Structure 1
Amino acid sequence: MDLKQLNAFIAIADLQSFSAAAKTTGLSQPSLSRLLKQLETNIGVVLIDRYHRPLQLTEAGLFFYDKVSALLIELDTVTSMTQRLSAPSIALNIGFVPSVLYGLLPEIIATLKRHSSNQNSDIEVNLKDISSYQQIEALKTGEIDIGFGRFAHQDPWIQQILLRHERYVVALPKAHPLAHVREQRLIDLANNRLILYHQTHLPASTIHMSTTHPTITENNSLKSKHEPVTEPLLHLFAQYGISPFMTTKVSDLQVALGLVAAGEGITLVPASLQTVRTEQISYQRLIHENVTSPIYLHTLKDFIHPKIPDLLSAIYKVYEQRGITYRPQQFI
């Protein structure tokens, strides 16, 4: 078998049609059919049932598809990394989640550029707004060189270090009865509508089973009390055996804060966001010290951009200037 045969098989399996696969690959239908037949002959197995429309994978084809897809993705990653090793980018491409941008990231980038200028080696920095989990694929493809995220990852291609934990604060409408209470408890917030904004959930395998009461969601459906609580904000409440009475799910953090400003509920945000919409929103401290949002930095294991050590140095310099406790780490 060869790559042409494998790529033809993947295209046909994905699109469930020879004609659609032909348009995508730029090959003729007879060529695709011939490549698929050669592959099936080589391994002695029928992979696609041609008598169904749309085309269907056989049981053996399903198994082969799952394994080959992973291998081809890995091959693409290796190829991309090899190309980057031979001709590394001069620019440092940084991925970030929006909540990090509201924190110290602008100051860190300014410190990095100032250091490079002092060393007579100006640096070009490109910033890309991208979710924590999308950053993993972006690192593999070379779209970014390093990423600031909020979630831990387990990926054989990626190495990750924890920069620090950032305390959550509660965001309340200015007219809320608790808006001027300086020390907030999660139990006192449970009767409010909690606005959820995370698009990525925690891995269920890392979460203990919840024993909290059922939650009424926006569509008034009950969430089973025996399901793992993987939504990040709900998980914070669940750690204390609390479940908010009502929740609303929105597309992103800015929308969540907009709803808080409009008096439609409350939410929890990292402390670095407490300068947003301060005319309409009151941000108050939570007494729970472990209600935090981690900040991770991740990059590839086998290719570290030459400017990443300078970026780490800039991060730790800003932390020292701000009096932030941290444990110095390095990528290996």
Structure 2
Amino acid sequence: MQENMTQETTPQGPGLTTDVYGPTPARPSGANTVVASLQEKEQSTCQTCQTPAVTNGQQNPNFVYAIGSIEPRFPMPSIEKECLQAVSRMNGTSGLSDQQVLKKVLSHPSNRYLARQMCWVFTVEGLETYLLRPRDATDLEQLVEAIRPEPDNNDIDVVIGYRGSLAPPEACNGLILPMVMIEQVYSFDMKSLLKSMPTPEKMSPGQFSPIAQELYKQIIHMADNAGATDEHRAMNYLAVRYDAIYTVCAEQYRNNYSLNSVQVRPSRLSAARKVMDAIFTFTHRETTVTQKWFTRVDVTEEFPYLVSPLSPYYVYEQQV
């Protein structure tokens, strides 16, 4: 029989990273007309996505914590033509790219009706994965702000919400994808993420950045990581909210270890709540000796949180 145990002491390193996205904005009391059926969160069913609404935490919808990119698209030709009309009425568009003009138009208060009509596609690793549905005006503003005037491969969008049914063909010009009712959207870039992390001792920022980027890419490249399973939600949460995993990885690299695998599985301590163990396995490049570190994440509700800090992971055999 195998058991796992952790040390009593917590290894040195940063705790929860400072939120690089800023404080969560307060939501307005009025509901967004883009989803007229969601005027009150207390209603029993989401008319648009046919998913039970969360009522005092009693329902258990399919939560999503996904990392990818948000792309605005025109759901039908008439909306595209209307947008072109709005562009013709605006000044200061000379010399701007189409992406810059689109953000300028949708950001203008008089064109908010166009933003409500847009189709917001969420892609993961370049694959169309979800159609995003804002719940109120704040969500719509976050979607508009996610439009980058100068798109880059290092741009990162994090979407938190719950998944509904497939969108009808008319929702986005024939594109049929699962709809996600969004609760929060974070938009930043890799440079901002790295800047928010403290550099480990005896290591320069130039040495730390490549290691952190490599670990981040390994996490988001996990097979079929659409942020919909408990395992992927836990891993995505750690990737953007817990800098200790990057610090430990950098220290292991400095000690001539390489990251061999990242595994997420249900914790043996899970009972009334869903707790996941994230295990990082490092192998020495010369001796092939392995070291393991792990942390626990609670994914019971929509917003995951850290249960225990990153600690050495021990496995031993006990005679029964």
Would you say same fold, with TM above 0.5? no
Structure showing the higher strand proportion among its residues: 2
TM-score scaled by structure 1?
0.24
TM-score scaled by structure 2?
0.24
Q: Which one has the largest radius of gyration?
A: 1
